[in-house]
Chain A
Amino acid sequence: MLSIKNLHVKLEEEDKQILKGVDLEIEAGKVHAIMGPNGSGKSTLSYVLSGKDGYEVTDGTAMLEGADVLEMEPEERAAAGLFLAFQYPVEIPGVGNMTFLRTAVNAQRKARGEEEMSAADFLKAVRARAKELKIDADMLKRPVNVGFSGGEKKRNEILQMAMLEPRMCILDETDSGLDVDAMKLVSEGVNALRSEGRGFLVITHYQRLLDHIKPDVVHIMADGKIVKSGGPELALEVENNGYGDILAEVA
């Protein structure tokens, strides 16, 4: 599904290397988790994959089902099936959440040469999915993320994911700012989307999210590289011992 090889990335503005050779293979139907201390490059990886400005790829490749993601515009990556759930979802005053969702869904369909979704079908689909995420009609009407609580913003991200039906989902610290109930709700939303044809990359600082979204593979990232990979037990090791032992072991 997603194949990252030897990815090197530096900041455009300053001569600072953030990713120093990331290798990652995410197969369809699998959930991979990346854990790592602050500043290890986890969020940078998600931004570079989704096409945010300000980063320069100096070496390496990232292919989504054989297509070179790094050559695409952000909207082309989205249409190709890549989705990033933001750590800090952006507020957009003046744009209704519903308008935003419908514009996004139909823009992707158009880019793929599919027919646009009718207003009625769209409304039906949104309502059903919003209900599962306990997103009420008011949240759908309000401007995108404006005045939403931390939990509401993250639920709104998952709603977008559910509506856009991406093939490769990247969740960037989706657990940050969530209380236990919200985390459970968001995780249920994600788990409902797990399927054979879909890959997940869950970026998180803490193990607790992985209690709800159970990963197939766990990677530890440090200083711009994946330093260790293993099964779910690796996340527990981090939880119990911190990153220190693992980092010392690979150093």
Chain B
Amino acid sequence: MADAAEKISTTDARLGGLSLPVGGWSEAARKDALARVQAMSLPERRDEYWKYTRPDTLTQAGAVPAALFDNDEAPIFGDMDRLNIVFVDGVFDRQASDDLSLEGVTIDRLAEAKTDIHWARDLYGVLEAKGQNPVPRPLAALNTAFASDGVVIHVTGKPSKPINLTYHHRSETSDAILHHVIRVDAGAEVTVLESGPAAARFNKCMEVDVADGATFHHVRAQGRDHERRAATHIFARLGTESVFKSFTLTANGVLTRNECVIELTGDDAVAHVAGACVGDGDFHHDDTVFITHDAVNCESRQVFKKVLRNGATGVFQGKILVKKDAQKTDGYQISQSLLLDEDSQFLAKPELEIYADDVACSHGSTSGAIDEDALFYLRSRGVPEGPATDLLTLAFLAEAVEEIENEDLRDEINDRLAAWLERHRS
């Protein structure tokens, strides 16, 4: 009872500091979400799903202040042709953003989309609510209830350039809750980029509905601010012959929990989720993925690689659930860490739950150090120890980075990784 009472008081303390936006098409969904989070209570460390990641700083009433980080790198994705949408500490910045009109897509600010947007109403909080089963994700329900900003993106064609969401962190105490909903119509195709630390504490939820034959590409680079904390969720529903590909780069961050919940509901759909993270010292990074196969002949891939040093912690909880009728499922899951010293740790919980009888699912999880023979080979050819270690580290990360289809984006991610490794040489 003591535990339950404590959970409720934590939840009350957190919710007490927030106010539910009223009016507009999302009001009913927000009220439902509030009821959900109250019923579930916010997570705490004794919850099985939070065994490896302490949720207290994510659930406490206010954000732990995070020092601003002076990033001297050029902004990532900055040189490419893109439609840029800027948020500062979780608030849409119209002046810094590009004009939101682009052929093949309609973009609205969540806070301003007051008129009834039918498709968005059918999506907002819907995939999140569905994703609460079988594992509760209270921070996502909290997000649906209290999100103060975000974008509503309706993709009807093939926009000529990616939509880039830039998140600036300018206040040491900012506590941002953003919620995006994205609908990709049948046969449409879009690339959504995200970058930046966003806030001292960032709770972000993205619901993506990928209709039949549609394609959704997502590449994200979480900001390099050391002290920032983030809990993010992606909920995706995939129609027949649709494609969903998401990649996340995480460099630094005292706490990051990225959850990705995907449901393959149409036959022949493809879902790839990948992540590459590099962390030093008090870095803690958690990838939690849940992929449900509920249709025939679908393919899913999870590829997560973590480079950890000086006591950094990496977590992976990944599940493939194959329902009874999801025959011919092709599921693959790999999570690997490269531990650059003996103080760092990787905690992995790979899971398969299969009810169909004609499936191919494989999973693997490893932790290892730099291959000494390969290192000596490189050094014997004249490559000094530092660059040789970096080269081998990038080779380790390559399988995840190669999940990015676009070559320019892939190169940009690789450049960032190489620069990080060079800065963090021992």
Chain A residues in the interface with B (C-beta under 8 A): 50-53, 73-75, 77-79, 83-84, 86, 89-95, 99-100, 103-105, 107-108, 111, 143, 160, 164
- Residue B373 interfacial (CB < 8 Å): yes
Interface centre among B378, B380, B382 (most CB of A within 10 A): B382
Contact of A107 with B380 in the complex, beta carbons under 8 Å: no
Partner of A104, one of B371, B376, B382: B382
A51: min CB distance to chain B, Å = 7
Q: How far is the CB of A117 from chain B (nearest CB, A)?
A: 13
Is B383 among interface residues, defined by CB-CB distance under 8 A? yes
CB distance B372 to A100 under 8 Å?
Answer: no
Inter-chain pairs besides A103-B383, A160-B381, 4 sampled, C-beta below 8 Å: A75-B382, A90-B373, A90-B376, A92-B374
Taking the complex as formed, is B111 at the interface, i.e. its CB lies under 8 A from any CB of chain A? Answer: no
Q: Considering the complex, which residues of chain B in the window 354-404 have a beta carbon less than 8 Å from any beta carbon of chain A?
A: 371-374, 376-385, 387-388, 391-392, 394-396, 398-399
Residue of B nearest to A50 (CB): B380
Residue of A51, A83, A89, A107 touching B383 (CB-CB under 8 A) = A107
In the complex with contacts A73-B385, A75-B384, A94-B377 CB distance below 8 A? no
Q: CA separation between A53 and B379, bound complex, in Å? A: 12
> Could you pull out 23 A-B pairs where Cβ atoms are within 8 angstroms?
A50-B380, A51-B376, A51-B379, A52-B376, A52-B380, A73-B379, A77-B380, A78-B380, A78-B382, A90-B373, A90-B376, A90-B377, A92-B392, A93-B395, A94-B398, A95-B391, A104-B378, A104-B381, A104-B383, A107-B387, A111-B382, A143-B395, A160-B381
Q: Which of B372, B374, B377, B394 has the most CB of A within 10 A?
A: B377
In the complex formed, the residue of A with least CB distance to B396 is A94
Query: Judging by beta carbons under 8 Å apart, are A95 and B381 in contact?
Result: no
Residue in B closest to A86 when the chains form the complex, CB atoms: B377
A95 to B380, CA, bound (A): 16
- Which residue of B374, B385, B387 has the most chain A CB atoms within 10 A of its CB atom? B374
Pairwise interchain contact A107-B384, C-beta atoms closer than 8 A = yes
Query: With A92-B374, A94-B394 in contact, is A103–B387 under 8 Å at CB?
Result: yes
Q: A105–B383 Cα gap in the complex (Å)?
A: 9
Q: Is the CB of B381 within 8 A of A94?
A: no
Residue of A nearest to B383 (CB): A107
Q: What residues of A have a CB within 8 angstroms of the CB of B387 in the complex?
A: 103, 107
Contact of B382 among A89, A95, A164 (CB under 8 A): A164
Cα A92 to Cα B372 with chains together (Å): 11
Residue among A51, A79, A84, A94 making CB contact with B395, cutoff 8 Å: A94
> With a CB–CB cut-off of 8 A, which chain A residues contact B391?
95, 99-100, 103
Closest 10 CB pairs of A and B: A94-B395, A78-B382, A108-B382, A104-B381, A74-B379, A90-B377, A94-B398, A107-B383, A75-B384, A107-B382
